[in-house]
Amino acid sequence: MKKFFGEFKAFIARGDVLSMAIGIIIGSTFTAIVNSLVKDIITPLIGVILGGIDFSGMSVTVGESTILFGSFIQAIINFLLTAFVLFLVVKAVNAMKAAAEKKAKEEEEAKPAAPAPTPADIVLLTEIRDLLKK
């Protein structure tokens, strides 16, 4: 039983598991931010532009069942808006990353190159010359 818990502890302590857990937590928090942006800012702006159309109330009654197709349409619109916002965020992050990589590359190229090591035969000839001088 101790071996089992020891293996479990080693599994949990591995870097990739911890990184994955942190990524999931940050991802869920970021989801709340994106959902708020879409729901509270972008969707109302689109509603103003389209004259206040809200699809969520549209439905059809078949017998005693109500089919809320408007909610489905609204969910699709929300998905597309969320995907678009995420696209813009990823595009901005990639642009910043590319700019940082370009700057790092330019800084690396600006550094003076290290002098090439002296070939062994030249070192040997230099030593012989120095000995002959003595």
pLDDT given at position 20: 81
CB 133 within 8 A of CB 126: no
Q: Is the pLDDT of residue 99 over 90?
A: yes
pLDDT given at position 98: 93
Rounded to an integer, the average pLDDT of 104-109 is: 84
Query: What percent of the chain is modeled with pLDDT above 90?
Result: 8
Q: What is the rounded CA–CA span in Å between residue 134 and residue 131?
A: 5
Rounded to an integer, the average pLDDT of 62-85 is: 83
pLDDT given at position 97: 93
Q: Is the pLDDT of residue 95 over 90?
A: yes
pLDDT given at position 79: 83
What stretch of H or E contains 66?
strand 65-67
| CB under 8 A, 24+ apart: contacts of 27-31 | none
Q: Is the pLDDT of residue 108 over 90?
A: no
Does the reported pTM lie above 0.85?
Answer: no
**Rounded to 5°, angle at Cα 52 from 72 and 78:** 35
Spacing of C-alpha 11 from chain mean position: 25
46 or 63, greater pLDDT:
63
For 8-53, how does the pLDDT look when each residue is reduced to its tens digit (9 = 90+)?
877 777 767 777 888 888 888 888 888 888 778 877 787 788 777 7
Residue 93 token pair: 């992050």
Q: Give buried/exposed letters for 17-39 (b at 16+ CB in 10 A, else e).
A: eeeeeeeeeeeeeeeeeeeeebe
CB atoms within 10 A of CB 118: 9
Q: Report residue 59: phi and psi, to 5°.
A: -155, 170
pLDDT given at position 15: 65
Residue 15 token pair: 């870097």
